[in-house]
Structure 1
């Protein structure tokens, strides 16, 4: 556990750096043999026949040390006398601790394989003033990779003050659009919402081939962040042969579109809402409609975490959900990770620990191999998602990979 703010944590692989330092000091203190002018040149001794060649001794070279700075919201100032964690700051600290543990476990695994790292950990506190101050920290500026801050406002504050334009900065957990930050060196790990919309559109166009798609709105403007990219994707992929019908649904009333439904085939509905009351009413109305008109629903990625949505209902509606962080705890590699995490930390890994492990493994190896600027050529299959990066001018690298799941046997099954 981290006990002091801004303490630097070193990994065991740095022993090679110590050996190299001692060797250099020894070499610097050894006498130098210099030529003396005007001395007669001695003739070379005659070679001795059949003399065995002396073996060439090659001194071991210390491996490269990659320095990584983690900027995470531990909120250690809440441990000061008279201060207390609030429910919000305690949740942020849980996120920070889980991510740090997973990331550190990944680097330990790479160190065991021969790589070498120096891990520096800083408390961002989820405070703009603290993040702004960290942007001027010389140790952070001299690191090879910066991971964090975590939250969008903190990322904006840090990137606005950070002046080293060639150093990669990782947004590790936020799906916020990188266009918000406008930093060409930013690496966005969690795919923004627009890539969920594109993935859903591609699946619908390639697999379902509908003539019409119905978008059910709740009326909240934030739904446009999904609807806009989805419509552009359908127009592009479907070559404008797929008609999109939008309806703002009030109290579950679907009557205005009944005469446009197909009783003999699937009717595809996009429901980008996240409001509980709206979803409860609208999905119940779709369930009634499903008795006469077969329904296929595509929901918002946040639905994965909504406990009020029942698997039986979602399965009847042939519900598909896009996700970039759904973990299959039955997979062998996930089971192995959980076992290792328990052995090291004596607790269960959170989703943030799993993300930290995936990102630490991926970024650590690329950094050690000097490939951090070639993300588009380095795809990766992780425990929570795959990494497939694209470089976008002015806004950096973006992971575009999104999985699609559907409900079967009352649980989510990956279909793409």
Structure 2
């Protein structure tokens, strides 16, 4: 059954992968075997049968179309073998990261050295090897101990951000490309499948955009794409070998594959980026899983402190739903009470996610009325209710403090935002006024004839932050969407982004609170 042209275009786009590799100290030798296609064969089936990734198979067969005819010859890439060019008399050592199934004998054979030499350089290795262990290979000076971090070896200590190798940043992008999805009656794919593919492409384009800019700045990046969705038989097209290859993992997006990959990485030093909002219980098994989404509590505390500062002596009304966002309501209260000289000026008014029946009765029409609504998306109806009530009672001034999500509520009218001096915390925003950001956006627009979606921006920023963890002296492209302020959270035993600024809507636009 033929696919519609748009589906074919998407399928072709899935395999546009940038792979930039710089390797020092080794030469790579690779081999290929040939396979003759049988009726019904696809690239995905051949990749599974020969234990290679779909990306590797396409790279070994450039310029091939999607369809395979019986009798066509397909080149199958074989595992690369490291051919030693190491002189054991060299004064500068190199490092080797242990991969699955490797023994001291196998590693010594790779470098053409004796096992005894390897054991001398790595005394603890005699006790056994684990995947991800780092071995020093080379002659060591007795006077000058080896600094593993200076060699680009991943180093992890408590309460420290990751330190990644300084040669090639090997990035694994795990997305729902849905390559093996079944068509629906009449051909084509379901709306859900098409949307997941579109989102996957947007993340991929953002990662490729970052890869190009990093390459221009002198960074070496290898980008590998894998499909997180199984075929109709439940077989996945990725394996542990992909995770062991990676220095950093982006994704997966969906709950079940994210949970699975997070569990597999939990004993490794490979950082994982959580690209979409997910319950922390899904991804916090791995101590090096990171989300750029900021912790909302510090932002709400800052908002509460600002309200206390701006309205000293005034009664500030806080609408409390005590529902899903009770933690944010408490954070606003903490921030307010940390600044207010008189705690009695913060008045709690009961509300639910739809309305607050006693709001208007609590307002003083003879003076300014500050109103705080810490609840977020769960209380959209409450925001609409407050707007309607205040528009009907428009004879007195008000100042409204809201949740950061409320900035995206399309029903909030500009006239209401202006009148209420609407103020909220903000953590992510494309900085178009920054000339460097604008230049980077121009490059994306030139390549894709459109601006990047929010998914592309997220992937871009995750790639740039990963490169920052290499600690190289070269300039980095500017992050375009998130500003990151990593703070150690004792309760969650991990780093959390706690960057927040405050903005107020005045004169028809948003301005920073100074």
Tell me the TM-score range normalised by the shorter chain: 0.7 to 0.9
User: Contact conserved, 1:72 with 1:121, CA < 8 A, in 2?
Assistant: yes
The residue matched to 2:246 in structure 1 has which SS? coil
Matches within 5 A, 1:314-333: 314-333=417-436
The 3 A distance-change label for structure 1 pair 349 and 229 is: same
Q: Which residue of 2 aligns with 1:139?
A: 242
The 3 A distance-change label for structure 1 pair 330 and 256 is: closer
Matches within 5 A, 1:217-296: 217=320, 219=321, 221-238=323-340, 241=343, 243-248=346-351, 253-254=357-358, 258=362, 261=364, 263-274=366-377, 275-289=379-393, 291-292=395-396, 294-296=397-399
Q: Which residue of 1 aligns with 2:497?
A: 399
TM-score (normalizing by structure 1)? 0.73
Q: In structure 1, how many angstroms separate the alpha carbons of the residues matched to 2:193 and 2:393?
A: 44
Is 1:298 matched with 2:398?
Answer: no
The residue matched to 1:322 in structure 2 has which SS? strand
The 3 A distance-change label for structure 1 pair 334 and 27 is: closer
Unaligned runs of 5+ in 1: 30-62, 371-378
Q: In structure 1, how many angstroms separate the alpha carbons of the residues matched to 2:265 and 2:507?
A: 50
Unaligned runs of 5+ in 2: 1-8, 30-81, 88-165
* RMSD, matched Cα: 4.0
Q: Which residue of 2 aligns with 1:116?
A: 220
Is 1:414 matched with 2:508?
Answer: no
Higher fraction of helix: 1
Greater relative contact order (Cα < 8 A, sep 6+): 1
Q: In structure 2, how many angstroms separate the alpha carbons of the residues matched to 1:213 and 1:126?
A: 54
Q: What does the per-residue CA deviation read over 1:213-259, in whole Å, with 9 as the maximum and x for residues that have no partner? A: 32224x57223242133233434454873534132167564457526
Q: In structure 1, how many angstroms separate the alpha carbons of the residues matched to 2:432 and 2:323?
A: 35
Q: Which residue of 2 aligns with 1:42?
A: none
The 3 A distance-change label for structure 1 pair 325 and 176 is: farther
Is 1:197 matched with 2:325?
Answer: no
Deviation at 1:381, TM superposition (A): 6.6
Q: In structure 2, how many angstroms separate the alpha carbons of the residues matched to 1:297 and 1:198?
A: 15
Q: In structure 2, how many angstroms separate the alpha carbons of the residues matched to 1:18 and 1:10?
A: 20
Q: In structure 2, how many angstroms separate the alpha carbons of the residues matched to 1:318 and 1:77?
A: 51
Deviation at 1:269, TM superposition (A): 2.3
Q: How many residues align?
A: 369
Q: What does the per-residue CA deviation read over 1:288-338, in whole Å, with 9 as the maximum and x for residues that have no partner? A: 44523x311122222222222211111111111223222244443342122
The 3 A distance-change label for structure 1 pair 308 and 400 is: same
- Of residues 241, 246, 259, the one that matches 1:156 is 259
